[in-house]
């Protein structure tokens, strides 16, 4: 059994490496996106402000909303957990946090230029009835925040199309039908496909990460072992989705449409390019259905906040459940040939 799995794994790896256009694009695309988006969006000159609003311990006698809350071009986001809101100020995900009352309390990171602008607007509208509190923290550049998203997106495309599209092509070309006549069992074939794609995606991801970290000096606070575990579980969950898509499909065009229908919403709603902070609840609920959302959440927690296994256990658990569900359903539906 092991020899048969290794034989299929070796053949699949050679096939991928010999496809120079696909192999080259998998390496080139992440570099273009990281350097391009990092250059375009770096800096603090974008006119976009986010302010967290904490719930007061006791409602003020005057229920009239504070005039600052009606300031245009500022997005106000309600928070109940003060520590969570202050952590986002430290990480420059929020420009300011305020707590309505008399006096109105606000927290600012003095290293944030956007926080400085919002503070001036607050002082202009509130006058002297303010209590200023300071939080400190190292600024996260846009490229630091973007890198996990780009790596996750590359893992998503490599896993879904690299497994789902390839198996459909095998079925359409009759390759799976010929394999059916061999001692190879469906489980062995699926395991070999998962291991092959897992190995290739992880190698490419590590290469891109090391290269971008070297040239851009990106932030890494947590453990590399924890981050590697996130990458492994995340990749397996994405591969399992590809296997589910390809379980019975025999049309490459249909498979491509289904895979695009899965990947594009996942790319736009999983926080690859921008934070979902302040998004409508329905957007957050949809985003939580995607494994990429939990991959990026765990990876950013490790890389930017130094989170350990306990802190990211909810994301790892969800990735495990998604993987188990997709693999079980995919294995049940899998067939060598359709019709």
Q: What is the pLDDT of residues 159-177, one digit of tens each?
A: 888 887 788 888 877 777 7
For helices 313-333 and 186-216, give the axis angle rounded to 10 degrees.
Answer: 140
Min mean pLDDT across 61-75, 81-95, 202-216 is at 61-75
Closest C-alpha to 238, from 215, 262, 261: 262
Q: Are 212 and 218 in contact (CB under 8 A)?
A: yes
Beta carbons within 8 Å of 155's beta carbon, 6+ residues apart: 201, 205, 231, 234, 235, 238, 295
Q: How far apart are CA 104 and CA 84, in angstroms?
A: 19
Name the CATH code of domain 49-135 (choices 3.40.50, 3.30.450, 3.40.190, 3.30.420). 3.40.190
Q: How far apart are CA 298 and CA 312, in angstroms?
A: 6
Residue 52, helix vs strand vs coil: strand
- In which region does residue 185 sit, left (phi positive, over 0), alpha (psi from -120 to 50) or beta (all else)? beta
Q: Are 164 and 259 in contact (CB under 8 A)?
A: yes
What pLDDT, on a 0 to 100 scale, did the predictor assign at position 302?
93
Min mean pLDDT across 33-42, 96-105, 191-200, 289-298 is at 33-42
In this structure, the chain runs to a length of 339
Share of the chain above pLDDT 70, in %: 82
Residue 181 in tokens: 């006549």
Residue 221 in tokens: 């606070």
Query: CA distances (Å), 242 to each of 43, 155, 193, 194, 203, in order?
Result: 38, 12, 11, 10, 19
Residue 32 in tokens: 């273009």
Query: Would you say residue 3 has pLDDT above 70?
Result: yes
Residue 60 in tokens: 């003020």
Local confidence band at 59 (pLDDT 50, 70, 90 cut-offs): low
What pLDDT, on a 0 to 100 scale, did the predictor assign at position 207?
92
Min mean pLDDT across 43-57, 191-205, 309-323 is at 43-57
Q: Are 220 and 141 in contact (CB under 8 A)?
A: no
Query: Would you say residue 19 has pLDDT above 70?
Result: no
**20-46 pLDDT tens trace:** 545 655 666 566 656 655 554 555 444
339 or 105: which carries more pLDDT confidence?
A: 105
**191-233 pLDDT tens trace:** 788 888 899 999 999 999 998 888 888 889 889 999 999 999 9
Local confidence band at 287 (pLDDT 50, 70, 90 cut-offs): confident
| Domain residue ranges of the chain, discontinuous segments joined by + | 2-40+141-333, 49-135
Closest C-alpha to 160, from 257, 263, 231, 254: 263
Query: Would you say residue 294 has pLDDT above 80?
Result: yes
Q: What is the mean pLDDT of residues 232-236?
A: 94
Min mean pLDDT across 32-41, 204-213, 235-244, 317-326 is at 32-41
Q: How far apart are CA 102 and CA 83, in angstroms?
A: 21
What pLDDT, on a 0 to 100 scale, did the predictor assign at position 75?
82
Mean pLDDT of the chain: 80
What pLDDT, on a 0 to 100 scale, did the predictor assign at position 47?
42
What pLDDT, on a 0 to 100 scale, did the predictor assign at position 225?
94
What pLDDT, on a 0 to 100 scale, did the predictor assign at position 216?
84
Task: Tell me phi and psi for residue 78, to 5 degrees.
Answer: -80, 140
Q: How far apart are CA 96 and CA 104, in angstroms?
A: 13
Query: Would you say residue 131 has pLDDT above 50?
Result: yes
Q: What is the mean pLDDT of residues 141-145?
A: 79
Share of the chain above pLDDT 90, in %: 18
Beta bridge partners of 49: 74
Is residue 311 classed exposed, middle or buried when 0-12, 13-18 and 19+ CB atoms within 10 A define those classes? Answer: middle
């Amino acid at each position: 059994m092991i020899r048969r799995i290794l034989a299929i794994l070796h053949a699949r790896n050679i096939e991928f490496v010999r496809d120079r256009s696909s192999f080259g694009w998998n390496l080139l695309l992440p570099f273009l996106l990281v350097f391009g988006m990092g250059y375009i969006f770096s800096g603090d000159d974008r006119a976009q402000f986010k302010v967290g609003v904490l719930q007061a311990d006791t409602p003020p006698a005057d229920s009239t909303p504070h005039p600052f809350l009606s300031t245009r071009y500022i997005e106000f986001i309600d928070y109940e957990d003060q520590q969570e809101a202050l952590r986002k100020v430290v990480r420059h995900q929020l420009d300011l946090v305020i707590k309505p009352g008399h006096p109105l309390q606000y927290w600012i990171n003095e290293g944030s230029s956007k926080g400085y602008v919002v503070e001036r607007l607050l002082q202009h509208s509130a006058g002297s009835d303010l209590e200023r509190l300071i939080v400190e923290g190292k600024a996260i550049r846009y490229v630091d925040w973007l890198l996990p998203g780009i790596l996750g997106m590359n893992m998503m495309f490599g896993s879904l199309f690299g497994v789902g599209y390839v198996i459909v092509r095998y079925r359409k070309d009759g390759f799976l039908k010929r394999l059916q006549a061999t001692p190879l069992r469906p489980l062995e074939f699926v395991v070999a496909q998962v291991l092959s794609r897992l190995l290739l995606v992880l190698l490419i991801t590590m290469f891109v990460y090391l290269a971008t970290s070297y040239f851009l000096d990106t932030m890494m606070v947590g453990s590399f072992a924890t981050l590697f575990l996130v990458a492994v579980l995340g990749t397996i969950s994405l591969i399992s989705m590809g296997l589910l898509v390809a379980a019975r499909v025999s049309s490459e065009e249909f498979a491509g449409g289904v895979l695009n229908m899965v990947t594009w919403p996942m790319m736009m709603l999983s926080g690859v390019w921008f934070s979902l902070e302040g998004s409508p609840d329905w957007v957050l609920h949809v985003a939580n259905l995607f494994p990429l959302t939990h991959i990026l959440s765990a990876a950013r927690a490790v890389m930017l906040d130094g989170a350990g296994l306990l802190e990211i256990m909810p994301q790892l658990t969800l990735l495990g459940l998604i993987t188990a569900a997709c693999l079980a359903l995919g294995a049940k539906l899998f067939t060598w040939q359709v019709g």
